[in-house]
Amino acid sequence: SSLPPGAACKKSPCIYIYDMPARFLKDALAEVPGPRAKSPTGEYFPFSTEQLIHQSLLKSPHRTRNASAATLFFVPSYTSALLAGRERNQTARDRARRLALDAVDHVTRAHPFWARSGGRDHVLTFTHHNGRCMDISPERALLEPLHQELANKTRLAIVLSHSGDPHSGCVD
């Protein structure tokens, strides 16, 4: 169920979900190759956790439509869709990193909240191999300029990832 405009959340912490252009969500999903699993709430692919988290937050009692009342800000971007089945492809990894960078640029241009905290209260999802590195080889990713730019830009943000090795340059 969606909240009416201006509705406050029912539970703390209050989470504002940025309304992102189609290229970060629907258009990215359209690029997923191969079969998708069917469920009552839609079609999913391996690593579609970004999509599932986003859908869950849209229905959450923690959601607010009043950004000024938010404690946290969720930046939905389905970067894993660009990597599904293509994680060994440099072009795919670069496109996924660029999409993530563009998502951060979009929210920083359109809203004042990232600048207010340096991104500390912003939540991003990187649910493909090695999180923000978006690569099966973290060592290789750490040398790539787009990864370095993404890591610098999102260093203070809250990153949800299945790769939580605190000693990896992919998670810091």
Q: In sequence order, what are the residues at sequence separation of 6 or more whose Cβ sits closer than 8 angstroms to the Cβ of residue 80?
A: 47, 48, 49, 50, 96, 126, 127, 128
Question: Quick one: tokens of 111?
Answer: 């809203």
Residues paired with residue 159 on neighbouring β-strands, in sequence order: 124
- Single-letter amino acid, residue 132: R
pLDDT by position in tens, the chain (length 172): 455 555 678 889 999 999 999 999 988 888 777 655 566 566 655 567 888 899 899 999 999 999 999 999 999 999 888 887 777 788 888 899 999 999 999 999 999 999 999 999 999 998 876 777 776 677 777 788 888 898 889 989 998 887 656 666 676 6
With contact defined as beta carbons under 8 Å apart, do 113 and 73 qualify?
A: yes
Query: Among residues 79, 77, 93, 84, which one has the least CA distance to residue 135?
Result: 93
* Helices assigned H by DSSP within the chain: 26-29, 49-58, 79-83, 90-110, 113-117, 138-141, 145-153
Question: Quick one: tokens of 83?
Answer: 């990597």
